Amino acid sequence: MAIAYRDPLEQLQRELDRMLESAFGSVGASAAGVYPPVNVFDAGEEYVIKAELPGVDPGKVEVNVENETVSFRGERTFDEPNRDVAYHRREREQGQFRRVVRIPGRLASETARAEYRDGVITIRVPKAKETRPRRVEIKAD
């Protein structure tokens, strides 16, 4: 029997593609005009918000969690080469960004945390206690 090699990422990629397609009409398109695009995930006890911000100084990013809203803002700036250079391609953009993301549920904002790794910001916000999934014990006589 042949063994199929399955990348665990593949299933998620298909799911993301399917959701992108239904939201924006084509795979790979993002919300028009807003930078950076964000993905929001449900991780059971918490919501996870991710955005790709390569080359950003994390010290210049401000994250706020309030009620049902997660927002972040910052600036992406590069050091210009300090010598004579000729540009062949210039596709990477600099400037300010700001996103406000409404989360479909109540948040426990006081225990939110954010990390920046490999150019991706990940904001984790626990769900408010009353909205977390709870396991209910069944009592037997």
Partner 1 sequence: MSPSDIEARPKQKIERREESTRPGAYFHPAVDIFEAADELVLLADMPGVSPDSIDVNLEGDQLTIEGRVKPEDYEGLKPLHVEYGVGGFWRRFTLGEAIDCEGIKAQIKGGVLALHLPKAERARARRITVQAS
Among 5, 133, 139, 140, binds partner 1 (CB under 8 A): 5
**79 within 8 A of 94, measured Cβ to Cβ:** no
Closest separation in Å from C-beta 103 to partner 1: 8
45: its two tokens: 């006890």
Q: Does 9 bind partner 1 (CB under 8 A)?
A: yes
Q: Which of 64, 58, 62, 52 is nearest to 103 (CA)?
A: 64
Residue of 96, 42, 104, 94 whose CA lies nearest to 70: 104
The one-letter code for the residue type at 132 is R
**Least distance between partner 1 and beta carbon 120 (Å):** 5
Query: In the window 83-112, what residues touch partner 1 (CB under 8 A)?
Result: 83-98, 101, 104
> Contact between 133 and partner 1 (CB under 8 A)?
no
62 belongs to the binding site for partner 1 (CB under 8 A): no
CA–CA dist 124, 121 (Å, integer): 10
Query: Considering CB under 8 A, how many residues would be counted as binding partner 1?
Result: 66
Rounded distance between C-alpha atoms, residue 82 and residue 3, angstroms: 53
- Supply the minimum distance, in Å, between the C-beta of residue 138 and partner 1: 26
Q: Stretches 29-37, 64-72, 106-114, 131-139: which one binds partner 1 (CB under 8 A)?
A: 29-37
